[in-house]
Amino acid sequence: MDLVWICVIVGFVGAGVVAYFARYVLRQDQGSKKIRKISSAIKEGGLAFIYREYRTLGIVVAIIAIILAVVPDLGWRMSVAFLFGAICSMGAGYAGMSMALRANGRTCAAAQQSLNQGLRVSFRGGAVMGLTVVSVGLIGLSILYFAWHDLPDFQFLYIIPAYGTGASLVALFSRVGGGIFTKGADAGADLVGKVEAGIPEDDPRNAAVIADNVGDNVGDVCGMGADLLESYVETVIATMTLTTVGVAVAPWVTNLFHGFSAEAALQAAWWLPMLIMAGGIVASIIGCFLVRVGEKIDMSALLAALRRGTLGATILTAVFGFLVIRFLGANLALFWAMLAGLVAGALIGESTNYFTSYAFKPTQEISEASTTGAGATVIRGFATGLMSTWPPIVLIAIAIVVAFQFGNFYGVALACVGMLSTLGVTLATDAYGPIADNAGGITTQAGLPDEVRERTDALDSLGNTTAATGKGFAIGAAAMNSLGLILAFAMAVGIVTVSEGKLILPEALSLLSVPVIVGIFIGAVMPPIFCAMTMKSVGVTTSAIIEEVRRQWREIKGLMEGTAKPEYGKCVDIATRISLRQMLLPSIMTIVAPVIVGVVLGKYALAGFLIGALVTGFILAVTLNNAGGAWDNAKKWIEAGKFGGKGSDAHKASVVGDTVGDPMKDTAGPSLNIMLKLMSVISLMLAPVIMHFDGLI
Amino acid sequence: MDLVWICVIVGFVGAGVVAYFARYVLRQDQGSKKIRKISSAIKEGGLAFIYREYRTLGIVVAIIAIILAVVPDLGWRMSVAFLFGAICSMGAGYAGMSMALRANGRTCAAAQQSLNQGLRVSFRGGAVMGLTVVSVGLIGLSILYFAWHDLPDFQFLYIIPAYGTGASLVALFSRVGGGIFTKGADAGADLVGKVEAGIPEDDPRNAAVIADNVGDNVGDVCGMGADLLESYVETVIATMTLTTVGVAVAPWVTNLFHGFSAEAALQAAWWLPMLIMAGGIVASIIGCFLVRVGEKIDMSALLAALRRGTLGATILTAVFGFLVIRFLGANLALFWAMLAGLVAGALIGESTNYFTSYAFKPTQEISEASTTGAGATVIRGFATGLMSTWPPIVLIAIAIVVAFQFGNFYGVALACVGMLSTLGVTLATDAYGPIADNAGGITTQAGLPDEVRERTDALDSLGNTTAATGKGFAIGAAAMNSLGLILAFAMAVGIVTVSEGKLILPEALSLLSVPVIVGIFIGAVMPPIFCAMTMKSVGVTTSAIIEEVRRQWREIKGLMEGTAKPEYGKCVDIATRISLRQMLLPSIMTIVAPVIVGVVLGKYALAGFLIGALVTGFILAVTLNNAGGAWDNAKKWIEAGKFGGKGSDAHKASVVGDTVGDPMKDTAGPSLNIMLKLMSVISLMLAPVIMHFDGLI
């Protein structure tokens, strides 16, 4: 039997659990009229954003699909795969987002009953996103497999990168557009409220508050989901692609599946990553059911509940992975390769937590520095961000070395499969965050009793921790994934060849060949430019929103007195339009740059370009994410009463730090993940074309 | 005749001009008693720092010299060369610094006469540093050349990197230690004055003001000089080393010096960089005399005066370079290689100017962003810094491609020689800055009339512009230089070999071999860690100084009333001790890391490591330098009356930006230059040892 059927079955089981969770959430009490009203305003805004984004996206996707179909070396199958990838990602994003938009008010209502009930509703809302992504990803890959894996000359391997590229493009729009939206709206709402009118953050007279709530969803749910769906499918794609070199089965595949015929070895090597993912989905489902907590409001109890879920899933995945490798009859070395990735992913999450949680010294020191002013806060936080880059880099380096020793390039890709296999549950804990955050906002706006606010605050605070960890995981996965894609690109483009069972790395790919050096240099400058653009875009969106809120205060009579209502929709609309427009330039640059480098400087320079971008992008993303997270929590630490508490000079300084960190950690940093992966997967997809270009230098 | 005699003669001509300028400055009026008193306090502090630094340095230098002497594959000659390099750098640093410390008060006095006189004294004071560095550099290299160039088996080429390493080590101490000192003292003086006591920046009751003035000298004169002396000599060293591959004359040398015997070609290839440098010194001397200005106080006139000097020197150097190449009978292609570097260096300076001067949009936009708060200031400035990375990277990439086309690896190194050939005059414009800055401080402290303050302000403001441009040039030179050293390392360590006149780049050096990838990753994380450490050190120093000033206010009776004097020396002493202590950890890391990587991961991984560090280090340094410069000038733009002017909310926000930028642009950013070069030159120096290590993975 073709074992990929197992993946299909598991995928549908996952979908079934999604349906169960969704039904559970939708059956919950929607809360009071006030809650429903606010929640439905957020829902409308969120859906309006996603509709408009998908419309723009649709045009871009259509254009690229047409190009793929007509370029000689590519063809219609690639075009179809690309479309399919885009549709899968849009579908998963829509499902997760619309569930999150329905879970926020219900979490609010549930928190009126008990903390445990609040956690359950919000977590299950998030789990819908997590399990949808992995189920859709696995089913999509299975469909492609059944459709085309029998095509001659490994054509299948040249088609599937297009599926990844489709998903990648949607992720780009969601992460970058959503990121600009969310922080533009957030900063706009904050600034205009505090600076202009002296009113608190979630005051209903501020027309930008709904846009702010919408932003949490489009950035952290839709964007994060699309990002990780991309990593998920592209990891499998990279692993499959690394089973061949040019038109031959890779030597390591025949070694690792010893005693198999070349054909059987290849088939098993294709099944393996998909089956590990299937095991991971089962483990994630079990993990999701392990998340529960007593009534004590205690961060450590809440954190322990989520930990139980992710840790349980991790252990189960390792066990399933071992069984799968055993069952397929592959070399057990592959288990260690997979485990290296699984462990590295978990430890990267831990190191992120160390550098960004106020339970530890680095963040507490930022709070302390705030007592000497905003400048010191910013410097100390930035230094923390820079310092925090070493554990992820070292962990990934170790994972690469271990995985390579045990499984060569295929092992490196498999390590990444290991890292992402528990995505179902880790993404659930991520997507839970913005739901809880929204619930907190609604609680305030609806004026619910303090007791409820306390519960939603606890949930929200937990969400912040998981968000930081999730971002660390996402960039780690993106880096590993990108490396896998670059290796696959080198094989596909014919840079690397096999002769008598030995891999031949050409001189032109030497680290010291000039095209490679120039490629590395130019690639290295892409992430900083990209970050500069997106960070500036946040500023543009913020300004536009401030202007709109001011206009409403000026023109709507009785608004400040509370007798008239602001036009919330207008703010959402403006943020949507501007963020989508601002997103275009960095997006086009990301899509076009590898093509230009490949054509002008050639395929060797392109390999250097991708590595250069990977290195600076990874360092920059970790720095921005962790500095941002640390500033946020340093502020919270002061708000918890340390160094003078709320309202002190230290607090004011820490607010500046938080303002600086917001666009770094929620826009620029996470967007880099997509940039790295997208440039790599586009190069891989276009390998049949780029292989003809040796470069002009 | 051995043409290196020309270099010796030119070196001594340079020294003669130094003596002439020094005599000129020393003969100037020292000013009123008050000026002399302040100036001598600064001098004492500066000399105290340098003595203590050199004492610590002496110990480290001695230890390393002993190690070099006893390690089998290295030997006593290397040890001597290392010591000689260290002594040359210390001597040049001491000379430049002691002149700067004597020129500051005299500039003050000269500015009482006229602007032109003020410019002349301060610029000639700076020119002493500039011309000392190039003369010492060239004479030192010539001495080594005469001593050992005849040794068999190209032993000479294995010895000279030790000379560079000696200079590099001194540069590390001066740049990092000086950088921590200067910004620690600056921030301490500012914070304690403004926040604690509400007294202005240069108020004599503040015990830290003298330390602040001392800091300008130890950081920007001594540190900058040692940095560029290092680049200067290492560039020549890299070029010379790139004339051979292992034990054979490099194929490109025989091609470029066509019709020569192998021996004659090699000799000419060794002479060429030294002769170009000699031409550059002559051009720089002429350039220095071209700097003069009328009485109109006008930034553009002052800038034009300096421009005339540097541009004149650049054109002359190109002419001299052409003549030298013609005279030697080398291929004229080498002229284009050299020119590529010369032009790239000049354009990098221009791009830095565009991104950091308030005459242009990027900095003005930061001022504008300040109207929405400190957070916006910081974000916009950081985005500007990130964006500013592309011109230098692209310019260097183009220079590499052009130089390689015309002269292979030797051409790439020669491009760097071109870039640094005009150092005499560019460094003079740099070192002039802190003298003018000091003069401004003394003018205020001595209570001189507004008219004088206006003149010294104009000189100071010009100094800020040249400082930013100089930093851009320094990091560009460091990057090119580091690349040359890495290439030389690859040849020396036997990674790259020659077979039948063709270069063989081994598979193990492939961009996709696992040791190289891991090396790149680990190398890439070094600069961020290094920056995090140095930025944190500034904070530690600042805190200690604040504490000391507070102590004096508490314990010295009558200090706040103006009836007693603070103990200025104590603050200098504390800043000295702490900055030297804080400097140790990052320094040791820089020295030890390449050794560990080379031994544990092997020579291929070390090549990757150096490239990885080069890429992220370059990006990070440009970002930090330019963001810092832009924040500084954005503040100045507001102080010039824009967006509400001094005292407005926008101004307060811009001050936060400036505070953030200070340790970035004056400590962390410039220190990275040294880090990159030092790691590369240490690897090159240790090549005879590291060549035996293939790595454990």
pLDDT tens track for B219-253? 888 888 999 999 999 999 999 999 998 778 899 99
C-alpha–C-alpha distance, residues A491 and A513, integer Å: 19
C-alpha–C-alpha distance, residues A137 and B34, integer Å: 77
Strands, DSSP E only, in A223-288?
A: 244-245, 248-249
pLDDT at B71 over 80: yes
Mutate to test the interface with B, among A386, A493, A596 (most CBs of B within 10 A): A386
Which residues does residue A502 pair with via DSSP β-bridges, in sequence order?
A: A499
| Cβ–Cβ contact B549 with A under 8 A | no
* Residue-level pLDDT at B207: 81
Q: What pLDDT, in 10s, does the model give residues B94-111? A: 999 999 999 999 999 999
A528/B623 touch (CB, cutoff 8 Å), yes or no: yes
Q: What pLDDT, in 10s, does the model give residues B174-195? A: 999 999 999 998 888 888 777 6
* Residue-level pLDDT at B565: 83
Closest in B390, B506, B618 to A529, CB measured: B390
Q: How far is A66 from chain B (nearest CA, A)?
A: 33
Interface of B with A in 282-341 (CB under 8 A): none
Q: How far is A80 from chain B (nearest CA, A)?
A: 31
| Cβ–Cβ contact B504 with A under 8 A | yes
Ranking A13-27, B141-155, B500-514 by mean pLDDT, the lowest is B500-514
C-alpha–C-alpha distance, residues B121 and B103, integer Å: 7
Which residues does residue A504 pair with via DSSP β-bridges, in sequence order?
A: A497
DSSP state string for A353-383 = HHHH-TTSHHHHHHHHHGGG-HHHHHHHHHH
Interface of A with B in 589-618 (CB under 8 A): 607-608, 611-612, 615-616, 618
**pLDDT less than 50: residues of chain A:** none
Closest in A389, A510, A525 to B510, CB measured: A510
Chain B residue closest in CA terms to A664: B379
* Helix runs in B73-114, H state only: 76-113
A615/B619 touch (CB, cutoff 8 Å), yes or no: no
> A-B interface: how many C-beta pairs under 8 angstroms?
224
How many helices and strands in chain A, by DSSP H and E? 23, 4
C-alpha–C-alpha distance, residues A5 and A1, integer Å: 8
Structure tokens at A277: 């993912």
Chain B residue closest in CA terms to A659: B375
* Residue-level pLDDT at A297: 62
Closest in A372, A524, A618 to B191, CB measured: A372
Chain A residue closest in CA terms to B668: A383
C-alpha–C-alpha distance, residues A88 and A673, integer Å: 19
Interface of A with B in 404-463 (CB under 8 A): 404-405
Mutate to test the interface with A, among B380, B507, B512 (most CBs of A within 10 A): B512
| Cβ–Cβ contact A383 with B under 8 A | yes
| Cβ–Cβ contact B475 with A under 8 A | no
pLDDT at B19 over 80: yes
Interface of A with B in 553-592 (CB under 8 A): none
Ranking A109-113, B367-371, B469-473 by mean pLDDT, the lowest is B469-473
CA dihedral A503, A507, A508, A512 (to 10 degrees): 120
What's the pLDDT band for B295 if we cut at 50, 70, 90? low
| Cβ–Cβ contact B195 with A under 8 A | yes
Ranking A52-66, A155-169, B367-381, B566-580 by mean pLDDT, the lowest is B566-580
Contact present, A111 and A442 (Cβ < 8 Å): no
Which is nearest to A133 in space by CA: A88, A178, A199, A172? A88
Which is nearest to A97 in space by CA: A558, A567, A470, A431? A431
Q: How far is A617 from chain B (nearest CA, A)?
A: 10
B659/A513 touch (CB, cutoff 8 Å), yes or no: no
A518/B384 touch (CB, cutoff 8 Å), yes or no: no
C-alpha–C-alpha distance, residues B191 and B546, integer Å: 8
Closest in B369, B525, B658 to A393, CB measured: B525
Sign of CA dihedral A138, A144, A149, A152: negative
* Residue-level pLDDT at B199: 75
- Measure Cα distances from B675 to A193, A290, A456, B187, B309 in Å: 46, 50, 48, 24, 30
Phi and psi at residue B206, in whole multiples of 5°?
Answer: -85, 115
* Helix runs in B202-298, H state only: 209-216, 224-241, 251-256, 262-290
Burial class of residue A1 (count of CB atoms within 10 Å of its CB; 0-12, 13-18, 19+): exposed
| Chain B residues whose beta carbon lies within 8 Å of the beta carbon of residue A619 | 524-525, 528, 616
Contact present, B120 and B454 (Cβ < 8 Å): no
B615/A616 touch (CB, cutoff 8 Å), yes or no: yes
| Cβ–Cβ contact B547 with A under 8 A | no
Q: What is the 3-state secondary structure (H, E, C) of A425-490?
A: HHHHHHHHHHHHHHHHHHHHHCCCCHHHHHHHHHHHHHHHHHHHHHHHHHHHHHHHHHHHHHHHHH
pLDDT at B573 over 80: yes
Structure tokens at A568: 């919330």
Q: Which residues contact B126 (CB under 8 A, 6 or more apart)?
A: B100, B103, B427, B428, B429, B430, B431, B432, B433, B435
Closest in B383, B517, B546 to A400, CB measured: B517
Q: Which residues contact B580 (CB under 8 A, 6 or more apart)?
A: B52, B53, B56, B173, B177
* Residue-level pLDDT at A205: 79
| Cβ–Cβ contact B654 with A under 8 A | no
Contact present, B30 and B106 (Cβ < 8 Å): yes
Q: Which residues contact A30 (CB under 8 A, 6 or more apart)?
A: A36, A39, A105, A106, A109
Say which residue the tokens 């790139």 belong to. Answer: B242
C-alpha–C-alpha distance, residues B442 and B456, integer Å: 10
Chain B residue closest in CA terms to A607: B511
Closest in B386, B487, B509 to A532, CB measured: B386
| Cβ–Cβ contact A191 with B under 8 A | yes
Contact present, A466 and A435 (Cβ < 8 Å): no
Interface of B with A in 508-537 (CB under 8 A): 509-514, 516-518, 520-522, 524-525, 528-529, 531-533, 535-536
Closest in B386, B393, B536 to A531, CB measured: B386
A505/B522 touch (CB, cutoff 8 Å), yes or no: no
Cα B249 from chain centroid?
A: 32
Rg (CA), chain A: 24
B619/A524 touch (CB, cutoff 8 Å), yes or no: yes
| Cβ–Cβ contact B369 with A under 8 A | yes
